[in-house]
Amino acid sequence: MTDTKQPNTTRPKAFLIDMDGTLYFKGEPCPGAIETVNYLRQEKYQLRFLTNTTAKTPKMLHAQMQEFGFDIYEDEIFNATYACLLYLRAQSEISCHFMVDDAVKAFFKEIPINNDAPDFVIVGDYGEGFDFYALNHAFRLLMDGAELIALQKGLYWFSSEGIRLDCGAFVTLLEAAAGKTATIMGKPSETFFKTALNHLHLAPKDAVVVGDDITTDIVGAERMKMRSVLVKTGKFKPDHLENITAKPTWVFDSVSELPQLF
C-alpha cells in the first residue's frame, strides 16, 4: 500500500464502493472481494455499492452480485439510473425522451414520455440503439430546445466480449453537435455522491470512496472532500497515476487490502 498524501485515519462510518473493476471485472468477482465485503459488514460499516452502469436496474444488479457470490442487499446498490429518477421526481410537470434499454425505461415508468417535444433527452446505455436515426432524432430535439441529461459519461468499458463504447461517447457527440452541455447524473457528479450520502444520513467526512477509476470515483470523492482509495484492478493502468486530475488518499493493489486500513 502506498500513501499518496498525509491521510486522515479516523475510522469512517461507511464505505462507498464502486462495483465494476473494483468488486468484479470481466464477468468474475475480483480475488478477495467477496471476503472483503463480508469483513466490512461484520465490522458494522454501512455500505453502498456504486456504479455508473445504467444498462441495468438496481434489482438486476443485485441479482448479478448475488450470482457472483456477494452477500449484499438491493437497497445498498446505488446507480446513476436511480440518481436520475430522484432528480426527475424533483422537477415539476416535465416530459422526457429516453435513449435507454427497455428494462431501464420501465424503471422510469412514472415519468411522462414525449418523443416529439420533450423537456429532457435522457441518455444512458443504449447499446445498438445508438444508430444514426436515433442519434439524429435526439440531436433535433436538443436543437428544438430540450435539455440533455446523461446517466453517466464514461467513454468505454470492458465487457466479457472486449472493450466497448459507453454512453458518454454518444453524449459527447450530441453535446458537440447541439452545442449543449449535458447534466451528468452518475459519478463523478456531486449530485450522485450527495444523494448516496443522504441515503446514509452521513457527512462526507464519515465515508470513504473506493474505486478503480480516477476520473469518476476519485474525482467525485475529491469534489465532495471525501477520502478515497484507488485500487489497481479493473480499469486502472500505472500511467493513470502520472497525469492525474485528482489524488486518491490511498492506493491499494486491490479491494482485498481494505481490511488493513482502519
Region from 20-28, 53-61, 99-107, 108-116 binding Mg ion, contact rule CB under 5 A = 20-28
Tell me how far apart the alpha carbons of residues 109 and 106 are, in angstroms, rounded to a whole number.
5
Per-residue contact track with Mg ion, 113 to 142, x per CB under 5 A? Answer: ------------------------------
Closer residue to Mg ion in complex, CB, 52/141 = 52
User: 144 exposed, middle or buried (CB, 10 Å; 0-12, 13-18, 19+)?
Assistant: exposed
Shortest approach of Mg ion to residue 219 CB, angstroms? 13
Closer residue to Mg ion in complex, CB, 18/101 = 18
Verify binding: residue 21, Mg ion, rule CB under 5 A. yes
Verify binding: residue 101, Mg ion, rule CB under 5 A. no
Q: Cβ atoms within 10 A of the Cβ of 9, count?
A: 12
Shortest approach of Mg ion to residue 191 CB, angstroms? 19
Please list every residue from 42 through 81 that binds Mg ion, using CB under 5 A: none
Region from 25-33, 92-100, 166-174, 213-221 binding Mg ion, contact rule CB under 5 A = 213-221
Region from 11-19, 90-98, 105-113, 201-209 binding Mg ion, contact rule CB under 5 A = 11-19
- Compute how many residues bind Mg ion; rule: CB under 5 A: 5
Verify binding: residue 18, Mg ion, rule CB under 5 A. yes
Q: Are strands 2-3 and 250-252 parallel, antiparallel or unpaired?
A: antiparallel
In contact, 7 and 250? CB cutoff 8 Å: yes
Shortest approach of Mg ion to residue 211 CB, angstroms? 5
Cis peptide before 188, with omega less than 30 degrees from 0? yes
Helix extents (H) in the chain? 33-42, 58-68, 80-89, 102-107, 132-143, 167-178, 190-200, 219-223
Shortest approach of Mg ion to residue 176 CB, angstroms? 26
In contact, 74 and 47? CB cutoff 8 Å: no
Nearest residue to Mg ion on Cβ basis: 21
Torsion sign over Cα 157, 162, 163, 165: negative
Region from 12-20, 78-86, 131-139, 249-257 binding Mg ion, contact rule CB under 5 A = 12-20
> Can you tell me which residue has the cell 484492478?
233
Region from 18-26, 121-129, 242-250, 253-261 binding Mg ion, contact rule CB under 5 A = 18-26
Tell me how far apart the alpha carbons of residues 144 and 119 are, in angstroms, rounded to a whole number.
10
Verify binding: residue 212, Mg ion, rule CB under 5 A. yes
Residue 65 is classified by DSSP as: H
Closer residue to Mg ion in complex, CB, 16/121 = 16
| Length of the chain in terms of residues written | 262
Q: Which residues form the interface with Mg ion (CB under 5 A)?
A: 18, 20-21, 212-213
